[in-house]
């Protein structure tokens, strides 16, 4: 150290906050740790180097040994086995020992030797007919261990040789055994010979192959051969590979077979059944698999994997051919044959349903147009896909078709008959379902639920509804569960859902759509008279079950629906349960709505049975607000809410819209001048010129009488109501030609309206707007519409059971055809229908080339429904469409959707019952000296009660401008009805006056008549005068 010139000693200060000794200690520990790690790494490197050197030396030694033995083999037996005879295969010969020792499947020379060996083997066995003596001599038992070892090594070497050289030999892989000169055929035929079921070592050999994952090798061989073979092998010719597989798959470990069980991941089910279109190339294997009971074992094996949620499938060949879809297609294609076998058991059906359910659930939807929508969405949104999003799977079209075609009517019949065969649908209602019944219903419902959401419904619904016992069996099951309160315990037994799910979810998810489909085909006689398929008593019970389930799902315990239903193998039961809840809420509400329609045609239960018990004032207040749970219920299941409550909601919605457009009411810009004798033309010309906003606003009307003079009276609303009643009566008059009457005098669009009015479609648009304006203003009009036409306002489809209201005679003829027991083709009917409008007959084909297509027993149901569709939907489609467009200018679809057709008619026309005079009296105000106990008032109510219904309606129109009272009663009349004294004194001159009215204020100006007779005479004269508003 150098001297700095400063003799003093300075104290060292460490600003680090701790002593240098501690810092040095930490540094020393870190250095020690790094040094220790470095020494450990060097030891690892040295150890790895030793292992590599050891392995290399070992491989080199083995290779040298192989080469040495190979040279010895060449010297003894020849390079092409020219010195080999039948004794060389014996246990005391070195031939097989040396060959199996040095054999390398990738060595061309070794491959050629093995092929020649197999050729000689086949030849020697063919000559002698005894395989055992060829390998073991006369005493197999003494050398069986050595013989078995050599045979299984030889068999595996043959399979391995084909597998390793599959790309080079791909044109030969699926060749037939007749082509014996082909190397792959010789190798595989040798395997066939070695695993002949009659040989004593067969289980040892097959067991060894299975343990060496032979099915994985067979899979890759088959896939390579399939790529080069565009068509399936011809019928009657079985390829050598197919023969090998057919001999291996019966070894399932059941007596007398002693083969060990193998990991399902390497089994026939996972490796071979996942090959696309397997049976097209291996038809003989399909027969072996389906007929000999093997499918039952393999499907049970797969069912166990499903229960354990084990993923044992190999990697997908491509995105178009996922393994689970290929497996499903192959299973379903053989399922029909397997289910038809006499030894097919109930357990087999349950397992098959479980496996197919699991695999179907993983599929993307294959419903009509789903592929097009998926493909178009992928094209449109391709640039929007982010890295985190999952690419949606689109199956190969042929694979989709294989799956769809396999779930055919025959398969559905077989499966449901096996599952429900032991279940009586007339069981004791006092007993709950037993375990077998629960298993059958659970398996069938899980399979069908997934099928409904994956495959096109039109192919399977009719079969399930009419050719299986599904509906009666499921109904009996649900009824007994409901009566015995077994739903809670049932949910724990249905394996498809979680234990806390509602027990009725799965049965309802299947029962509702099938029974709903059945109701579209069943006729009125079957439903009401013969009470098929369910009795009316049972239907009343069903309504209660559906109503309670729906209320539980929508209000008490609602769930958020899953974002998407595309369940894959990793999906959990909770997501499945949420989807089923959402699905059941839809199908149950649709079925209840349909049952309500049947009840409206002919009442078999109280309308209140459809209403939920929990609807209260809080619910009603919430229902008015958008995006609330109550509002959603009102849109999806409005029948749960009492009709009067829905009318109040509808009225409040109309009032809110009118208030928003009521700013111009003081300064009305829409004033109509209407000639009474040209009311329709004037109204059409003036109303058609209005915009949508103007239509929602206030319209004032001035009438002009037949003399061209404007009638007295200022329109404060009453004249407009009178105008609306008169214009609707004129416009919907059948004499005008736009509408026709049914036999019950109900109105529907005239199919031939275009023959009488050139602009008939514009008039229908106008009439739709006119009816909407009446409803918008709360004006009831006396127009009785046919139910099937009101369905068009709700954009619904009409079915056969709606036809009696239009053409009862045609309906009777169609029902006669439906139940005709003879040969319908003898009736000489074709798929054409004759239209007769104004004496002009025209023929229309119901199907392309229908005039040449005869009606037979097989297609009569289709014919019946096409005829009904033509009359109820097709003929009036244009008129209904234009009417609906005009109607929706003012009345929103979701407002109308709150009501069924019967209720919609009440909204339009009010009740057809007699006028409730007591209701008017309770909601009447008095003025000018009158009060409710005044003798003139007492006399007035007695006179009004004595009027006929027609005169009561005329009186109501006289004082309010409308012949129908408010829908919910006169307490909702705005303003309330009022009776005012018309004369200040009771002089003879005053008493001779007629009563007058101010309809805009619902006001009756009544002189104080002295007698009932005088009051009745004056009132009848006034209400029948037809003097417009000149009396006001």
- Beta strands 1003-1006; 996-998: pairing state: antiparallel
Is the CB of residue 604 less than 8 Å from the CB of residue 540? yes
Give the DSSP H/E element, type plus range, for residue 741. strand 739-741
- Please say whether the beta carbons of 996 and 1032 come within 8 A: yes
CA dist 212 and 266 (Å) reads: 9
Count of helices and strands (H, E) across the chain: 45, 10
- Asked if residues 205 and 150 have their Cβ atoms less than 8 Å apart, the reply is no
Q: In this structure, are strands 977-981 and 996-998 parallel, antiparallel, or unpaired?
A: unpaired
Phi-psi region of 748 (alpha: psi -120 to 50; beta: other; left: phi over 0): beta
CA-nearest of 348, 326, 324, 347 to 337 is 348
CA distance 1028 to 722: 9
- Collapsing DSSP states into helix, strand and coil, what is residue 749? strand
- 508 contacts 550 by C-beta, under 8 angstroms: no
Question: According to DSSP H, which parts of 643-691 are helical?
Answer: 643-660, 679-687
> What's the 3-state SS for 225-294?
HHHHCCCCCCCCCCCHHHHHHHHHCCCCCCCCCCCCCCCHHHCHHHHCCCCCCHHHHCHHHHHHHHHCCH
Residue 1000 among the catalytic residues:
yes
Identify the helix (H) or strand (E) that includes residue 620.
helix 617-623
Q: Which residues contact 716 (CB under 8 A, 6 or more apart)?
A: 998, 1000, 1001
> Given the DSSP bridges, would you call strands 670-675 and 699-704 parallel, antiparallel or unpaired?
parallel
Residue from 565, 880, 931 nearest 748 by CA: 880
In three-state secondary structure terms, 531 is coil
- Residue 980: name the closest of 1031, 929, 1032 by CA: 929
Q: Which tokens hold the place of 915?
A: 């006028």
Does residue 96 contact residue 154 with C-beta atoms inside 8 Å?
yes
- Tell me which residue has tokens 């030396």: 57
Listed in order, strand segments (DSSP E) in 529-603 are none
Q: Count CA atoms closer than 13 A to 291's CA, side-chain side.
A: 7
Neighbours of 120 (CB within 10 A): 18
Give the integer Cα–Cα distance in Å for 970 and 951: 18
Query: Rounded to an integer, what distance in angstroms lies between the CA atom of residue 873 and that of residue 895?
Result: 23
Q: In what helix (H) or strand (E) does residue 416 lie, and over which residues does it extend? A: helix 409-420
Known catalytic residues are 1000
């Amino acid at each position: 150290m150098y001297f700095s010139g400063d003799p003093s000693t300075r104290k060292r200060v460490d600003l680090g906050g701790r002593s240098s000794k501690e810092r040095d200690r930490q540094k020393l520990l870190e250095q020690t740790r790094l040094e220790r790690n470095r020494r450990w790494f060097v030891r690892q490197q040295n150890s790895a180097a030793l292992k590599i050197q050891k392995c290399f030396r070992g491989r080199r030694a083995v290779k040298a040994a192989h080469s040495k033995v190979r040279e010895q083999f060449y010297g003894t037996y020849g390079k092409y086995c020219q010195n080999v005879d039948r004794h060389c295969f014996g246990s005391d010969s070195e031939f097989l020992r040396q060959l199996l020792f040095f054999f390398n499947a990738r060595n061309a020379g070794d491959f050629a030797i093995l092929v020649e060996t197999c050729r000689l083997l086949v030849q020697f066995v063919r000559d002698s007919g005894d395989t055992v003596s060829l390998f073991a001599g006369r005493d197999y038992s003494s050398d069986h261990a050595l013989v078995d070892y050599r045979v299984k090594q030889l068999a595996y070497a043959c399979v391995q040789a084909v597998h390793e050289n599959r790309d080079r030999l791909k044109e030969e892989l699926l060749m037939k055994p007749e082509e014996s000169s082909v190397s792959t055929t010789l190798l595989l035929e040798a395997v066939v010979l070695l695993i002949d079921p009659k040989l004593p070592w067969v289980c040892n050999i097959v067991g060894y192959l299975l343990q060496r994952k032979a099915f994985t090798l067979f899979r890759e061989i088959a896939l390579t051969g399939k790529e080069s073979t565009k068509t399936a092998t011809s019928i009657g010719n079985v390829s050598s590979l197919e023969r090998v597989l057919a001999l291996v798959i019966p070894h399932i470990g059941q007596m007398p077979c002693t083969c060990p069980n193998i990991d399902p991941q390497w089994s026939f089910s996972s490796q071979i059944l996942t090959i696309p279109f397997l049976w097209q190339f291996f038809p003989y294997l399909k027969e072996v698999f389906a007929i000999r009971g093997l499918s039952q074992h393999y499907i049970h094996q797969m069912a166990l994997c499903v229960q354990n949620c084990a993923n044992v499938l190999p990697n997908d060949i491509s995105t178009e051919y996922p393994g689970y879809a290929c497996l499903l297609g192959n299973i379903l294609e053989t399922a029909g044959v397997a289910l038809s076998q006499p030894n097919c058991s109930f357990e087999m059906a349950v397992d098959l349903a479980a496996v197919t359910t699991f695999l179907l659930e993983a599929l993307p939807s294959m419903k009509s147009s789903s592929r097009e929508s998926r493909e178009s969405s992928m094209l449109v949104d391709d640039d929007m896909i982010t890295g985190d999003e999952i690419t949606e799977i689109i199956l190969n079209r042929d694979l989709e078709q294989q799956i769809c075609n396999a779930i055919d009517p025959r398969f559905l019949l077989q499966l449901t008959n096996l599952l429900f065969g032991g279940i009586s649908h007339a069981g004791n209602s006092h007993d709950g379902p037993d375990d077998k019944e629960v298993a059958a219903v659970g398996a069938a419902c899980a399979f069908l639920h997934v099928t409904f959401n994956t495959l096109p419904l039109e192919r399977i619904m009719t079969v399930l509804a009419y050719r299986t016992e599904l509906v009666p069996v499921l109904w009996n099951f649900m009824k007994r569960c409901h009566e015995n309160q077994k739903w809670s315990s049932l949910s724990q037994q249905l394996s498809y859902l979680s234990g806390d799910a509602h027990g009725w979810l799965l049965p309802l998810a299947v029962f509702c759509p099938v029974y709903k489909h059945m109701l579209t085909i069943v006729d009125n006689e079957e439903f009401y008279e013969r009470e098929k398929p369910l009795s009316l008593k049972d239907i009343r019970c069903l309504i209660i079950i559906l109503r309670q389930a729906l209320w539980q799902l929508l209000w008490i315990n609602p769930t958020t629906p899953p974002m998407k239903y595309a369940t894959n193998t990793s999906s959990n039961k909770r997501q499945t349960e949420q989807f089923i809840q959402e699905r059941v809420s839809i199908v149950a509400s649709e079925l209840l709505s349909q049952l309500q329609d049947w009840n409206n045609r002919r009442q078999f239960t109280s309308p209140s049975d459809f209403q939920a018990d929990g609807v209260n004032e809080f619910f009603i207040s919430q229902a008015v607000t958008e995006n609330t749970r109550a509002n959603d219920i009102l849109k999806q299941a409005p029948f749960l809410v009492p009709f009067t409550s829905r009318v109040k909601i509808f009225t409040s919605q109309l009032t809110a819209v009118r208030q928003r457009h009521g700013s111009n009411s003081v300064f009305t810009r829409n004033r109509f001048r209407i000639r009474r004798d040209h009311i329709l033309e004037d109204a059409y010309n003036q109303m058609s010129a209005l915009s949508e906003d103007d239509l929602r606003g206030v319209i004032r009307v001035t009438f002009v009488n037949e003399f061209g003079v404007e009638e007295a009276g200022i329109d404060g609303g009453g004249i407009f109501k009178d105008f609306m009643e008169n214009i609707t009566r004129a416009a919907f008059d059948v004499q005008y030609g736009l509408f026709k009457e049914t036999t019950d005098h109900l109105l529907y669009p005239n199919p031939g309206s275009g023959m009488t009015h050139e602009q008939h479609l514009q008039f229908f648009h106008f009439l739709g707007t006119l009816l909407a304006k009446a409803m918008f203003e709360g004006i009831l009009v006396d127009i009785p519409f046919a139910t099937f036409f009101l369905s068009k306002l709700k954009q619904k489809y009409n079915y056969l059971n709606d036809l009696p209201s239009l053409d009862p005679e045609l309906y009777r003829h169609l029902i006669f055809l439906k139940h005709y027991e003879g040969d319908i083709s003898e009736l000489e009917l074709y798929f054409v229908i004759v239209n007769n409008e104004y004496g002009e007959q025209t023929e229309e084909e119901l199907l392309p080339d229908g005039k040449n297509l005869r009606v037979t027993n097989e297609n009569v149901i289709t014919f019946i429904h096409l005829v009904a569709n033509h009359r109820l939907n097709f003929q009036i489609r244009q008129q209904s469409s234009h009417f609906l467009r005009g109607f929706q200018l003012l009345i929103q679809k979701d407002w109308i959707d709150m009501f069924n057709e019967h209720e919609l008619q009440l909204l339009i026309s009010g009740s057809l019952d007699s006028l409730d005079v007591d209701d008017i009296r309770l909601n009447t105000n008095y003025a000018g000296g009158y009060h409710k106990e005044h003798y003139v008032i007492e006399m007035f109510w007695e006179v009004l009660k004595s009027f006929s219904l027609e005169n009561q309606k005329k009186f109501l129109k006289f004082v309010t401008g409308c012949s129908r009272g408010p829908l919910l009663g006169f307490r909702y009349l705005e303003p309330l009805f009022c009776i005012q004294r018309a004369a200040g004194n009771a002089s003879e001159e005053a008493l001779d006056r007629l009563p007058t009215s101010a309809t805009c204020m619902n006001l009756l100006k009544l002189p104080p008549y002295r007698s009932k007779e005088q009051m009745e005479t004056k009132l009848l004269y006034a209400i029948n005068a037809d003097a417009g508003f000149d009396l006001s």
